Structure 1
Amino acid sequence: MTLTVWFGFLLAAIVIAVTPGPGAVISMTTGLRHGYWTALVTILGLQVALLIQLLIVALGLGALLATSEVAFSAIKFLGAGYLIWLGIQKWRSPVVPLDADVPAIPRKGAFLQGILVNLTNPKAMIFIGALVPQFVDPAQPQAAQYLVIAATLCLTDVLVMSGYAVAASRLGRWLHDPRSIRAQNRFFGGLFVSAGALLAISSRPS
């Protein structure tokens, strides 16, 4: 992979990361309630799922989702259901002031939640499957190229998701009124449900 090609891929990776999606929502909600360091654990979970998706694409299995309506629908509805469940949980969250002693969620739970949010989004895998091969030179060793691609995707996504999480945690310092807490619970709950609904009615990218 030449430097010019890598810069092109970096630009594409930035656009993908900045575009709001379930990963951004889970990063913001975790950062808002539990702070950046717990959100970072969730963000690392997102990257594990991204690496798994990239590995699947590298092995050529991503084509199955692109061509099989059954496989795509199964993962799509699983992901949509999970996002809607997260939204309902957030909507029904108790109104707890952000300066109160809030028990930290287990790091393992935050990590697993990040993995599940990204892994149950088949459109992300298909998008990676459509994008990545365009930047891979078949005449060159592919393992090294995929390592560069994986590092670029993950580092870009960690930085962007961290930005979302930090912004949310800074905003959280101003939310002490119970009415505001309830409003933000329902706002983010609505975002999760909306993301799940959009995923459920989506079709395979052409």
Structure 2
Amino acid sequence: MSWTMWLAFLAAAMVIAVSPGPGAVLSMSTGLRYGYGAALRSIAGLEIALLLQLGVVALGLGALLATSETAFAAVKFAGAAYLVWLGVNKWRAPPEPIGEGDDAIRPHSRRQLYAQGILVNLTNPKAIVFIAALVPQFIVPDRPQLPQFAIIGATMVAVDTMVMSCYALLATRFRPLLRNPRLLRVQNRVFGGLFVGAGAMLAVSSR
């Protein structure tokens, strides 16, 4: 992959990452509730899923989602249901006072943050289809493909981590406001509604 081609892919990756989606909502919600350190766990989950999606595309399975209505619909509705479930739980969560960073998170909840990140990205078939449409344009067929996919994967993860971190850090600015139970309840309702809305949009979306 030439420098020119890599810079073009970098620009495309930045545009994709900056576009708001479920990953951004999760990063902001976690950053606002628990702080940036906890948000990094969710972001790590998002990036693991991103690499898995790239692996799916590298193996050629992304074409199946792009061409099969049944496979696309199955993943799409599973992802939509999961986002709605997250939203309902967030909406109904009690307005518990926020703690300080990782000290406020139970070990079980820390594992959940990783799992949430993985599932939010992994159950989004549009992401796989988009990667399947974008990545092959930057692969040179007559050169070894593994190093090219490695460069693409590293670029996507670095860019997405940076963007999701910006979303999470921006949200942490408002943490001092959440000492008030009423504002905590509003926060739960806002992000619960955003998750439900993202799930609804995914459910009615097409390829």
TM-score (norm 2): 0.95
Q: Which runs of 5+ in 2 are unaligned?
A: none
Q: Which runs of 5+ in 1 are unaligned?
A: none
**Secondary structure at 1:137's aligned position in 2?**
coil
Q: Is the 8 A contact 1:99 1:176 kept in 2?
A: no
Question: 2:118 corresponds to which residue?
Answer: 115
Question: 1:128 corresponds to which residue?
Answer: 131
What does 1:1-206 correspond to in 2, within 5 Å?
A: 1-98=1-98, 102-104=104-106, 106-204=109-207
Partners in 2 of 1:111 and 1:179 — Cα distance? Answer: 28
CA 111–103 in structure 1, closer or farther in 2 if over 3 Å, else same = closer
Partners in 2 of 1:99 and 1:120 — Cα distance? Answer: 30
Following superposition, the deviation at residue 99 of structure 1 comes to: 5.1
Equivalent residue letter for 2:32: L
- What is the count of residue pairs matched by the alignment? 204
Alpha-carbon RMSD across the aligned residues, in angstroms, is 1.3
Following superposition, the deviation at residue 95 of structure 1 comes to: 1.1
CA offsets, 1:136-167, max 9 Å, x none?
11121111110000000000001110111111
**Secondary structure at 1:60's aligned position in 2?**
coil
Equivalent residue letter for 2:33: R
Partners in 2 of 1:138 and 1:23 — Cα distance? Answer: 32
CA 103–40 in structure 1, closer or farther in 2 if over 3 Å, else same = closer
Partners in 2 of 1:171 and 1:2 — Cα distance? Answer: 42
Q: Is the 8 A contact 1:98 1:173 kept in 2?
A: no
CA 103–137 in structure 1, closer or farther in 2 if over 3 Å, else same = closer
CA offsets, 1:95-119, max 9 Å, x none?
1233588444632211111100000
Partners in 2 of 1:49 and 1:128 — Cα distance? Answer: 12
Following superposition, the deviation at residue 171 of structure 1 comes to: 1.2
Partners in 2 of 1:70 and 1:139 — Cα distance? Answer: 33
Q: Is the 8 A contact 1:17 1:160 kept in 2?
A: yes
Q: Is the 8 A contact 2:177 2:183 kept in 1?
A: no
- Percentage of identical aligned residues: 60
TM-score (norm 1): 0.95
